[in-house]
Amino acid sequence: MDQKERDNLLQWDGNRAGFYEVYYLKWNDFASRTACWIRYTLTSPMPNVGKPYCELWGIFFDIDQPANNFAVKNRFSIDQLSWDNDRFRVSIADAELTHNACHARIADDETQHSLQWKLTFDSDVPTYRYFPNDWLYQGKFPKTKGLSPHVNARFSGTLIANGRKIKMADAPGQQTHLWGTKHALRWAWGHCNAFREDPNAIWEGLDGQIKLGPFASPHFKIFYLRYQGQDHFFNTIPHWGSNKSHWDLGRWTFEAADEELRMIGAVGCRSDEMVAVTYMDPDGEHLWCNNSKVASISLTLFDRHGNPLGDLTSDHGSAAEFVDRRTYPEVPVQI
């Protein structure tokens, strides 16, 4: 195994309670003007909450006809989960995810929604790590760990969404691995690797709060940009405080700088371009993710002397999610 494959290995030991783990994949297919987000997940709740289970999730987005957007999820008992330790492979019932391929079918008889996929993918850059230090991945803080073995993925294969067959070739996207004991209190997150001006550029951002006793923490603001082949990590602990960020439902503005570059950006989407889904912490608490994979983004870049370097933009090519401990009536919860 190379390092990226090791980064994907399952962290759950098969027994631990109070734990969750997620593999998500998302992409934008501009030929069909659609996007999709899929998840292979497990939840091992606290003993007083329930029994462990695993799930397959999917959200489909149609840029031109948002009324076609939908979410679907299937839940399985934990004995339907299997995995390998000497290579990356996770299976849930008949579905499988490996380091460079995935397939599954999920359907809801009540809503009549269904998703089926058979895809291959790869990425040409190393794993992106949200946190700058190893100790942040080994200790109890933060309670959720995250990294993206395929932060600049290209997807090829077939997706069938409610009977609509879509064949993709080199659709830009991402594959990420998350695990932990508790979700953050609330957060905004985004990712884009489909910029008009530079198809090799990558942006990712996270602005979150956690619970500190009875209080909400200050915002932790983490950003990353790959521009003209160079990585800029705005994710050190000093950056958590110095980066600027403000968000509410459907709108996020931010600013970050390192010794070489300053970035000013905005991500936005309409309410009908989002789909709301329900998350559950291992302790049984709920939170709601207002998710879009067809948001728009604009970045304005400057060098360290303040001279403009240019813009990066993507219309309907960015992921954006706004997660809170309450629901928003303008984005109905689908699952």
pLDDT in tens, 303-325: 999 999 999 999 999 999 999 99
Q: Is the pLDDT of residue 19 over 90?
A: yes
Q: Is the pLDDT of residue 1 over 90?
A: no
Is the distance from CB of 180 to CB of 12 less than 8 angstroms? no
Q: What is the mean pLDDT of residues 1-30?
A: 97
Q: Is the pLDDT of residue 214 over 90?
A: no
Is the distance from CB of 153 to CB of 293 less than 8 angstroms? no
Give the integer Cα–Cα distance in Å for 10 and 14.
Answer: 10
Domain ranges for the chain:
3-324
Give the integer Cα–Cα distance in Å for 168 and 95.
Answer: 20
Which pLDDT score is estimated for 213?
A: 83
Using CA atoms of 253, 259, 261, 265 in order, give the dihedral in degrees to the nearest 10: 0
Torsion-angle region of residue 306: left (phi > 0), alpha (psi -120 to 50) or beta?
Answer: left
Q: If you ran DSSP here, which 8-state letter would residue 259 be given?
A: S
Give the integer Cα–Cα distance in Å for 187 and 219.
Answer: 9
- Reduced to 3 states (helix: H, G, I; strand: E, B; else coil), residue 284 is coil
Q: Is the pLDDT of residue 185 over 90?
A: yes
Shortest CA distance to 171 belongs to which of 145, 136, 199? 199
Give the integer Cα–Cα distance in Å for 251 and 233.
Answer: 23
Do the bridges between strand 34-44 and strand 53-62 make them parallel or antiparallel, or are there none, so unpaired?
A: antiparallel
pLDDT in tens, 87-132: 999 999 999 999 999 999 999 999 999 999 999 999 999 999 999 8
Confidence class of residue 139 from pLDDT cuts 50, 70 and 90? confident
- Residue with token string 């309907």: 316
Give the integer Cα–Cα distance in Å for 234 and 246.
Answer: 16
Give the integer Cα–Cα distance in Å for 3 and 294.
Answer: 31
Please, which residues have CB within 8 angstroms of residue 111's CB and are 6 or more apart in sequence? 70, 72
Stretch among 34-43, 56-65, 230-239, 267-276 having the lowest mean pLDDT: 230-239
Is the distance from CB of 20 to CB of 11 less than 8 angstroms? no
Q: What are the Cα distances from residue 86, in Å, to 46, 96, 101?
A: 29, 16, 17
SS (H, E, C) 231-271: EEEECCHHHHHHCEEEEECCEEEEEEECCCEEEEEEEECCH
Q: What are the Cα distances from residue 273, in Å, to 51, 159, 172, 205, 310?
A: 34, 20, 19, 19, 28
Q: Is the pLDDT of residue 212 over 90?
A: no
Planar angle of CA 135, 209, 16, nearest 5 degrees: 55
Shortest CA distance to 43 belongs to which of 71, 75, 72, 73? 75
- Supply 153's token pair: 């993925």
- Residue with token string 């912490």: 281
Percent of the chain with pLDDT over 70: 100
pLDDT in tens, 173-184: 999 999 999 999
Percent of the chain with pLDDT over 90: 94
pLDDT in tens, 153-174: 999 999 999 999 999 999 999 9
- Reduced to 3 states (helix: H, G, I; strand: E, B; else coil), residue 32 is coil
Is the distance from CB of 37 to CB of 59 less than 8 angstroms? yes
pLDDT in tens, 220-269: 999 999 999 999 999 998 998 899 999 999 999 999 999 999 999 999 99
- Supply 195's token pair: 């910029």
